[in-house]
Every structure is written in structure tokens, then in C-alpha cells.
Chains A and B, each alone.
Chain A
């Protein structure tokens, strides 16, 4: 809540003026029954047509003033609501950008996207409604009561009794139904899941002949949903009849008491009509208030979800160091007894890993699924922090660098080939903001991606659709490799990034990288022995532990895990090599 107010700070004027104008409108509305009472008591009683017309004019005037103030109020409310959500959206987006991989993993990106889109929209609606109605409705309810007091205290006491009863009825029913509606939503989600699952798994369901069972589960879920709907329907169906009964019961009392007061000359006929009118105004506003509360609760739920994202502190603080030791004097990457546990209680993804990589070296990283290959390379640009031990780049602990200082030294080609909408040039400039076309083409050449650009009519200006939909997997992958090469990084990391390339292209790529030899340290992560075998140094990982470090020949001789990997992939070339 405090945070919301913070974002409304710039719209203080609008947030105050909006509700005030709304109150103005409401006050004019409250005068209407009094004017009508005058028509009856003065105009009709004295048979004064001029007076009646005059009062009719006042009624229209009241309506006009009401219209003007209400439009003003709508404007201020809309301005404050839209402005506040705009600022909130921006702040949230900036906040997300400060998250480390760890927070991104634990919250999940799809959740974050919902928070920043639909949740914020809902908050905007909530703020708008609150500014417009939250003061107005209670004001009319209590205003009507106060007006009643000005007419006759005895009759007004009925108002005093009825309002709490109405509150209890309306909010009692809502208090019961809202949690049940949440349950309905949960059951609907189950039904949805069931449909989706049966579609994506249609072949399996049919192969195992489980259609009948799936139908039965669905019928059960569907019936459970209906039962809950019926139950909650029964209760919420009470709302209208009950409030109607309470209000009109009050009208009976009012007419009876009014009758007595008229009989003793305290009230006039017109005043009784005014009292009855006030009573019906209360009902209308109370229903509006109830709807408002439903909406506001929903917005509050969204707000608290947004807040929980804001409350998530970025788990990493950047250091201050911008540069490390000069190249050549120290290893460009060094792991000192590094262990990594993603979550407390989980098994270690990496245990006691130590190695050094010098400029110009190619380091192969190999191992089975889940052996910790990606974890290892993700520690170098400090996407995650180690649990134990330290990672040094150019002789400096990665935790001491600024993010910018560290990451501009590293070129990463992630497993998933992600491109962004924009031209090919825009995408490749992610690597280096001011890269010239020559630099870009050079990088493409090394990445075996020159032909992609050459084939395109507009060359580097070719637009890439969102997610790179207009490119094949192999093309995307080569472009992501080029993107990392453009910055001519000190450390190049290829995280299993040749998986979509055919063998021949993969081989050419590795050859080009070797020939390029610019003093970069290259990390090649792969499951394929053929990919890493020519590396200067191969790190073999098995269940998070280093099973061996060395050249292909050494490892093939001494490391059982490595030999097994090689044999299981037994390519013709391998066999030949070892038969010979």
C-alpha cells in the first residue's frame, strides 16, 4: 500500500481533487429529494405553477452542475490512475533488470511477465475506481442519513438502524462468497489443465487406451466444479432479495413513523416522500459499493503480487573494479575450489572444482545431462554466485567487478538460440554497440553465418521477427555465435551452442575459431566428444565433480568416464582412430 502511494506521489493534486469533485456531485444529488419535497409541500399545496417550474429548473441545474463536476472528477481520476500505473510499470521493469539469474529462476519469467502486464493493468483499474467511487458511495449513504436527520430525528433513527444491517448483509455475503469463487477458479484451472494435457498427450492416452478413464476423471472434475458453482450461486443469489427486503422493510417503518409525525403536525407529506427517496438512494449506492469492493479486492491481490516482486531484493551486489591484471600475467579464468548449490538442501551442482584457463587456450567441458557443465560456465560471467570457493577473471574475484566491467570481457552463446525483433544488424550490435559493418561481417564469417546474410535481400538490414521465427534453428544459432564474437571477447563461452548445426558446419565453425586465435580463452561445452577432442584442455564432469582434466589422449587413457563417453558415441572416425 505504501508503495502504491509512493507512485501516486506525483499525482497528489489529481488524487485529492478527483474524489473532491465526486463528493461535490454527490452533494448535489442529495439535494434532489429536498427540492421534490418543496414541489409537493409548497408548489402543490399552494397551487403555484411558477414555483413548480422554478423548482424543476433547479432540478435541471443540479443535474448540470453534477455533470460538470463528475466529468472533472473522471478526468483527475483517470490521470492519476494511468500516471501511477505507468510509473509503477517502469519501476517494476527496472527492478526486474536488477535481478540475478537466481531470482529469475525462482520467480520464473512467465510470472514476471504477468506481473508487469495484466496485474498492473488491474491495479490501474482499481486505483481509478477507488478515486471515483470509494468516497462517493459511503458519502451518499451517510449523507442520505444526515439529510434524514435534518428532516426529522425520529424517522432518521430508522436510517441509523438500517444502514448497519445492510452492511452486515452485503459484506457478510461477500465474505462468504469471495473465497468460494477463488475455489471455483482453482477448479476451473484443473479442468483447463485436463483438456490441455489430453490434447498434448493424445497419442499416449490412446496408445495406452486410457480414454475412458480420462473421460471419467474429467466428468468428476467438471461435476465438482458445477457443485461449487451451485453452492456459491445459492449464497450470492441472496444478495438482491435480502437487501430489497431490508430496504423496503425500512420503508414500511418509515411510512408508519412518518404517518404518525404527519398526524401530529411535525412533518409534511412532501417530507415523507423525501425520506422514502433517501432510503432508495442508499440501496443503489450500497450495491455499487459492494461491486467496488469486489474489484478493489482483486486489485489488491494483484498489488500484493506486484509488491512481492518489488520486495525481492536482487541477490547480487556489484563490485567496483572495472579492470583486472594485464593480460598474460595471470590466467584469464581461474576456479579455486568452487562448489555450487542452487537451493538449500539440494544436491551440489558443482563440487570442489579448480582449474585455470590461460589466454588463447580452448577449454572443452564435457559430461552427461545434469553433470554441471552449464553451471560451470555460468559462474564465469557471474550469472550465479558460488556457494564456496571463488572464481577469478584476470586475477580478480568476479565479485569485485562491476557487472559491466566483468561481462563486457565475456561473450556468451547460450544453449537456447535467442534473437530479438529488429534487424540482423541490431541483433549483432548487442555484442558491441558501435560495431562497424566490417566487424559484424567478420564475426559472421567466423560463425559460418555469412551465407545467411548474403541470401537475404536486405542483407544486414533484414528484419528478424520476434523470437527469430523467420529463421531456422541452425541459422539462429550461428547468428547468436556471431553476436558473441562481435565484441571480440577475452573469454568466449559456447554452451552446447552447436546442437542445431549439422556436423560439417559444426566442424567448420570449430576450425574457424581455432584459426582466429586472438588470445581469447574459448570454453566449448558439449555432450559430443567430437566437439571437444581438439581442445587444449578438457574438463570432464560427472555428477558435479571433476572426473579428469587433460588433453583428449591423456583422458582417453586415464579417465574412465571420458572413455565411456567416447565409446558410447563411437563415431566411425573414432573407431578408425583407435583401431589404427
Chain B
């Protein structure tokens, strides 16, 4: 049922290439018909050579020329069919892949945050790849396979009914044998993969943490545990591999039964005069070919089912609800002054657990706001709302008096510079990474930003300086160096407002001290929201918001809050004072 609607979708994608599909089908019909015709011609040719001095060369020449043409045409059509199939498959797959990726950019963060990254990646890569393989196989083999079986049957029936019956009756035996073997080996394969999983688990632990293994001299124990599982794996693997490898010889044996049956029945028919020797030879070559598409088709059907399941997973992703679209023709902010208002904001990630309610906050342009509170108090959520990664459930957030839902997301986010605790860098050159927020930046601007964030000196020491290509997620850079690059990235854009979420947590304290100067300069005249755990950073804020369970429970300056002797004072005493 589900496959049906998926199939419909797939066909919809293919419809864009319907000319190719039509051509492919046409070529497939031609190829199969001609392939089946060739043995008939060969058989006829043999009938023209009855014995010494009784060979009809005139007729033979005509036949062989015809055969030549048929063979040439078959090859050509088969190639053309393959080309059409390739074209359709790869184009369709590219269409699906780009659509899925484009859709990913339109998905709300709530989807991305709540789904494991590996799951989304595997939908976009592995599933689409599997879909592509299945589609290609389906195009090339399913149709031609079915055609071949039907064609062969027709041809055989037209020549001799009884021999055909022999073939039709014996062939299913090979499926029964194959499926019997598959069923009985299933358990052995499961055992094999379980043991393999166990071994991989051990390898993962022991090799992945080899340094600890070394430090405690655990090598010998590791080897002996490994050995035990390895031996079991050997036993299970041998059984699984051996028993499953019986399939081929067994089906081959059934095929040879078919062959012998056709040979004998055919010979009797020739003796009775119901068949010519050439037709017998034609039959024998059919008997050889006939079982092949059967075996192939069962493989193709599994593959196709698999492909459909994968396609369904991809479509499911594409069907995820995108973000609410940006308001059209709404107001625009050129360069925000930096007045931020939150009024009666309520928000929760899941319906059943309320996180933020009745949140009110008024921030004047240029103010420095520090946010403190225990883990899970809603600090990061506040940032999610300010950047409009999530929309509020109730109330409104406004920048310069403008409800941010009336602005485009792009316009809003241009107003903020953001440095997060989780450093993210692209696999690209250092230069491209710094200029990520401002692709057209000049070399001078980039170097200046790097200098301002104290990244310049370590960048220069990299093998290729600013042209060093970073591998995924910053590669060999230390956490602190990555953070410096993220800071440089924001320094280059210098938007009117800043969000710093534990922006310096991985930088050693001395470098941080220097960066603080740069930060201080950057924050001058800019509204800034700072989440930090270092006291020095917090103390310099114009206002400290103390959050707990999604509420701002206290706010004020460091001194006034200490005087209040409330939650902040408690936090301060437990965390910073020993």
C-alpha cells in the first residue's frame, strides 16, 4: 500500500524524462525480440547443413547475412537502452537529492534538533544511493527479464508444446531449492553478524582507546578476549558462508536437469519428425537462457523493494513541514539601533513541558547583557528565540520596535553576530572560513579580523597560512584555535548586535584575556547578549539576567545582585568562590 504511493511519486519524477522512458521501453522490446530471434536463425542455418555434399550455401549465406544484421541491431539497441536508463536514473536521483538538500535548508530547527544527524545524512546519501541502484537495476533488468521469459515461452510454444512443458515444470524446482537454502541459512547469518558486532564492539573499545590500554598494560588481556570472540566468529562465518554458497551449485544442477530433459525430449521429437535438428539446438540455447532471467528477476524484485523503502524514507524527509514562510513586503531594518523587547513571551520545545513563560525584557541600544543560570535554565533557548531559530508560542519579540516575525529571517539575522560554544568550521580554506559571513571581503579585511581575534599568528604558522584547507570540522586545529576562527568570522562582519554563547570557553585564560579587549572594543555601542561562566566577563556586563527554569528571576548589576543575596549570590558563592 505504502509502496504504491511511493511508486507514484517515483513515476512522477520519472515523468520529467518520459521521452527517455518511452525510448528505453522501445529499445528493450527490440533488444529482447532480436535476442530471441538469433538462436532461431542459427538453428535454421544448422538445418541447411545435413551432411556431406548436402549443404545449401546459397540459403546459408542469406541466413548468415540476416543473422549479422540482427546481431548488429541487437547490440546497438541494447546500448541505446542502457544509455536511456542511465540518463533517467542519474537525473532523477540528482533531482531528488537536490530537492532534499534544498528542503533541508527550509526545515525549521525544531526538526533538525530533534532528529539524529546520522539519520538525516543516511536518508540523503545512503538511501538515495540505494534508490539509484535499485532504479537502474529495475530499468535495465526487470522489464527485459520479464520480456525475455514471456518471449522465450512464446517462441518455444510456437515450435513445440511438449518440450516447453518440460522446461516450465522443472524450472520452479530451482527456486524452491534456492529459497529453502536462503531460509535455513538465515539463522547462521544472524549468528555471524551478531558475533561480528560483538567483535567490532571490542575492537572499537580497545583500538579506539588504545592509549588507555597501553597506559594500564592491558594488551595481553585484550588479545585473549579478542581471540575468544574471533574463534567463535570463525566458526559461525564458516557455516554461514558455506551453506549459502550451496545455492549456486544447486540451481546449476537443476538447470542441467532442464537441459538434459530438453535434450532427450527434443531428440525424441526429432526422431518422430516433429522437430528439426536446428530447432533442437535453438531449444537447447533457450533452455540455457530461460532460467537466467528468473534468477535475476527475484534479485531485482528484492532490490526494487529495498529501493522503494529507501525512496519512501527520502520522501518522508521532503514532506516534512517547512518553516513558516517569511512575510512578504514586510518592513526592513537597515541597521538596527539595538533596542530589543521581549513581551510576555512563552515557549516550549514540546507541548507537554512548558519551558519559558511570561518572559519580559527590555534592552536599550548598546547594553551589555550577561545571562547566567544553571544548565537547562533556558539560556540557549533565549538565543534560539532572539535569532528566530524558533518562533515564540505566545507574546512577541521586537527589534527597534519591530516584531521580528514581520521581518524576513535574513534581515533579522544580518543584525546579529553570533559566536557559539560549539565551534563549527567548513571544510574549506581558513580564508573562506573567516569570510563566511562576508564572502566579498578583501584580503586586508580578513587579515585584520584575524589579528583582532588573535588568530593571525597561529594561522601564519599553518602549512599554507590562510590558504590551508581545513578538513571537516576544523580538522587538526585545537578547540581553542577553532574558537578563535569563529570569533574572527564575526569580527569581519561587525553586525550591530552580538550574541556570544560561551564564546571563549576553550581558549586558555591568557589568550582570553587579550581577546576580552578585542571583545570589549567590538561590543562598544553594540547591544550584546553574553552567556558566560567566567566571572570577569559577567562582572563587566551592564545588566545580569539570572535565569532559572525558563524565568528571569533576578536582574541587575553584579553588586546589586550580591546585595540582594538571592539566587545569584548563592550561585556566585558555590561556583566561583572556593
Q: What chain A residues lie within 8 Å of B271 (beta carbons)?
A: 43-44, 47, 49, 52
Q: Which of A471-512 contact B (CB under 8 A)?
A: 483, 503-504, 507
B441 is an interface residue with CB less than 8 A from chain A: no
Q: Beyond the given A110-B208, A205-B105, could you list 10 further A-B residue pairs with CB under 8 A, ordered by the A residue number?
A: A66-B253, A67-B250, A93-B203, A204-B420, A229-B86, A265-B53, A403-B214, A507-B578, A565-B509, A573-B578
Q: Is the CB of B578 within 8 A of A56?
A: no
B157 at the interface (CB under 8 A from A): no
- Most B Cβ at <10 Å: residue of A32, A112, A263, A573: A263
Q: CB-CB contacts of B506-534 with A at 8 A, as 1s and 0s?
A: 11111111000000000000000000000
What are 12 A-B contacts with C-beta separation under 8 Å?
Answer: A40-B277, A52-B268, A66-B249, A109-B208, A113-B204, A200-B424, A208-B489, A263-B55, A368-B508, A414-B211, A564-B513, A570-B535
Write out the residue numbers on chain B whose beta carbons fall within 8 Å of the beta carbon of A204: 418, 420, 424, 436
Check A117 against B203 for contact (C-beta < 8 Å).
Answer: yes
Taking a contact as CB atoms under 8 Å apart, the answer to whether A527 and B578 are in contact is: no
Say yes or no for B194: interface residue by CB 8 A criterion. Answer: no
Select which of A75, A205, A264 is within 8 A of B52 by beta carbon: A264
Complex-state Cα separation, A197 to B433, whole angstroms: 13
**Alpha-carbon distance between A273 and B279 when the two chains are bound, in angstroms:** 11
Determine which of B49, B199, B439 lies in contact with A272 in the assembled complex, contact meaning CB atoms within 8 Å: B49
CA distance A93 to B202 in the complex (A): 11
Q: Are B94 and A225 in contact (CB under 8 A)?
A: yes
Q: Which of A79, A200, A269, A568 contacts B277 (CB 8 A)?
A: A269
Q: Does A188 contact B (CB under 8 A)?
A: yes
Complex Cα gap A117–B207 (Å): 11
Secondary structure call for the B interface: helix
**Closest B residue, CB atoms, query A407:** B217
- CB pair A218–B427 under 8 Å, yes or no, is no
B453 within 8 A of A: no
* CB <8 Å contact, A44 and B277: yes
Of the candidate stretches A138-146, A250-258, A440-448, the one touching chain B is A250-258
Selected from B78, B124, B261, the residue in CB contact (under 8 A) with A241 is B78
Shortest C-beta distance, A515 to chain B (Å), equals: 18
A404 touches B87 (CB 8 A): no
Contact code string B446-484 (vs A, CB < 8 Å = 1, else 0): 000000000000000100000000001100001110000
> Could you mark each residue 395-415 of chain A with 1 if its beta carbon is under 8 Å from any beta carbon of chain B, else 0?
000000001100110101010
Partner pick for B413 among A43, A56, A207, A561, CB 8 A cutoff:
A207
Complex Cα spacing A277 to B577, Å: 92
Complex interface residues of chain B between 48 and 83 (CB less than 8 A to chain A)? 48-55, 57, 60, 64, 67-68, 71-72, 74-76, 78-79, 82-83
Q: Does A199 contact B (CB under 8 A)?
A: yes
**Inside 8 A of A230's CB, which chain B residues have their CB?**
86-87, 90
Query: Which residues of B are interface residues toward A (Cβ below 8 A)?
Result: 38, 42, 45-46, 48-55, 57, 60, 64, 67-68, 71-72, 74-76, 78-79, 82-83, 86-87, 90-91, 93-94, 97-98, 101-102, 104-105, 109, 112, 117, 120-121, 124-125, 129, 196, 199-201, 203-219, 222-223, 226-227, 230-231, 233-234, 237-238, 241-242, 245-246, 248-250, 252-253, 256-257, 259-261, 263-264, 267-268, 270-271, 277, 280-281, 284-285, 288, 387, 389, 409-410, 413-414, 416, 418, 420, 424, 426-427, 436-437, 439, 461, 472-473, 478-480, 489, 493, 506-513, 535-536, 572, 574-578
6 closest A-B pairs by beta carbon, nearest first, are A368-B508, A237-B82, A265-B52, A63-B256, A233-B86, A59-B260
Complex Cα gap A270–B489 (Å): 82
B205–A63 touching, CB < 8 Å: no
One of A83-91, A294-302, A332-340 at the interface: A83-91
CA distance A94 to B221 in the complex (A): 11
A516 within 8 A of B: no
The segment from A95-103, A354-362, A452-460, A548-556 found at the interface with B is: A95-103
Q: Is A365 located at the chain interface by the 8 A CB criterion?
A: no
A517 within 8 A of B: no
Asked if A60 and B256 make an inter-chain contact with CB atoms under 8 angstroms apart, the answer reads: yes
Q: Do A259 and B45 have beta carbons less than 8 Å apart?
A: yes
CA distance A229 to B201 in the complex (A): 36
Q: In the docked arrangement, what's the CA distance between A466 and B197, Å?
A: 13
Q: Which residues of A contact B281 (CB under 8 A)?
A: 273, 276
CA distance A208 to B409 in the complex (A): 11
Q: What residues of chain A lie closer than 8 Å to B508, measured between beta carbons?
A: 367-371, 527
B101 touches A70 (CB 8 A): no
Contact A208 B509 (CB under 8 A): no
- Contact in complex: B216, A383 (CB < 8 Å): no
In the complex, are the beta carbons of B285 and A280 less than 8 A apart? yes
Judged by a CB distance under 8 angstroms, whether A177 is at the interface is no
Q: How far is the CA of A193 from the CA of B117 in the complex (A)?
A: 12
A210 & B259 in contact (Cβ 8 Å cutoff)? no
* Interchain CA distance A570-B461 in the complex, whole Å: 31
Is B52 within 8 A of A263, CB to CB? yes
Complexed CA–CA distance, A280 and B241 (Å) = 30
Q: B389 contacts which of A206, A237, A260 (Cβ < 8 Å)?
A: A206
Q: In the complex, which residue of chain A has the Cβ closest to the Cβ of B265?
A: A56
A404 touches B536 (CB 8 A): no
Asked whether A321 is an interface residue with its Cβ less than 8 Å from the other chain, the reply is: no
Do the beta carbons of A86 and B249 come within 8 Å of each other? no
Q: How far is the CA of A558 from the CA of B293 in the complex (A)?
A: 87
Query: Is there contact, CB below 8 Å, between B410 and A90?
Result: no
- Report whether B49 and A226 are in contact in the complex, using a CB–CB cutoff of 8 Å: no
CB-CB under 8 A from A25, the residues of chain B are 249
Determine if A245 is an interface residue (Cβ-Cβ < 8 Å). Answer: yes
Q: Determine the chain B residues whose CB is within 8 A of the CB of A269 once the complex forms.
A: 46, 49-51, 277
Complex contacts, B57 vs chain A, CB 8 Å: 259, 263
Instruction: Name the one of B51, B209, B285 contacting A420, with C-beta atoms under 8 angstroms.
Output: B209
Distance in angstroms between the alpha carbons of A431 and B221 in the assembled complex: 13
Q: Name the distance in Å between A93's Cβ and chain B's nearest Cβ.
A: 5
**Across the interface, which residues of B come within 8 angstroms of A75, CB to CB?**
242
Whole-angstrom distance between the alpha carbons of A207 and B478 in the complex?
24
Please name all residues of chain A whose beta carbon is closer than 8 Å to the beta carbon of B120 when the two chains form the complex. Answer: 195, 199
Q: Does A63 contact B253, Cβ atoms closer than 8 Å?
A: yes
Does the CB pair A196–B207 fall under 8 Å?
A: no
Scoring A residues 369 to 386 as 1 if CB is less than 8 Å from chain B, else 0, what string do you get?
Answer: 111000000000101000
Residues on the B chain within 8 Å of A466, using CB? 201, 204-205
- Asked if residues B125 and A188 are in contact (CB atoms below 8 Å), the reply is yes
Q: Please, which residues of chain B bring their CB within 8 A of the CB of A130?
A: none
Are the C-beta atoms of B55 and A262 separated by less than 8 Å? yes
State whether B82 touches A78 (Cβ < 8 A): no
Alpha-carbon distance between A222 and B479 when the two chains are bound, in angstroms? 31
A82 at the interface (CB under 8 A from B): yes
Task: Closest A residue to B222 by CB, please name it.
Answer: A97
Is A34 interfacial (CB 8 A cutoff)?
no
B234–A83 contact, CB under 8 A?
yes
- Which of A259, A410, A467 counts the most chain B CB atoms within 10 A? A259
Q: Nearest Cβ distance between residue B408 and chain A, in whole angstroms?
A: 9
Contact present for A245 and B72 (CB under 8 Å): yes
Contact among A109, A191, A249 with B210 in the assembled complex (CB-CB below 8 Å) = A109
Closest CB of chain B to A28's CB: distance in Å?
Answer: 9
The residue of chain B having its C-beta at the shortest distance from the C-beta of A198 within the complex is B104
Among A189-244, those with CB < 8 Å from B are: 191-211, 213-215, 218-219, 222-223, 225-226, 229-230, 233-234, 237-238, 240-242, 244
Instruction: Indicate if the CB atoms of A192 and B121 lie closer than 8 Å.
Output: yes
Q: Which residues of B contact A207 (CB under 8 A)?
A: 387, 413, 416, 418
Asked if B270 contacts A255 (CB within 8 A), the reply is no
**Cα(A370)–Cα(B511), bound, Å:** 12
B254 CB to nearest chain A CB (Å): 9
Q: With A188-B129, A215-B102 given, is the CB distance from A244 to B71 under 8 Å? A: yes
- Contact across chains for A59 and B263 when beta carbons are under 8 A apart: yes
B64 touches A570 (CB 8 A): no
**Which of A109, A215, A259 is within 8 Å of B55, CB to CB?**
A259
A347 to chain B, nearest CB (A): 7
Within the complex, what minimum Cβ distance (angstroms) separates A553 from chain B? 18
Check B51–A268 contact: CB distance below 8 A.
yes
Bound Cα distance A67, B51 (Å): 36
Q: Does A165 contact B (CB under 8 A)?
A: no
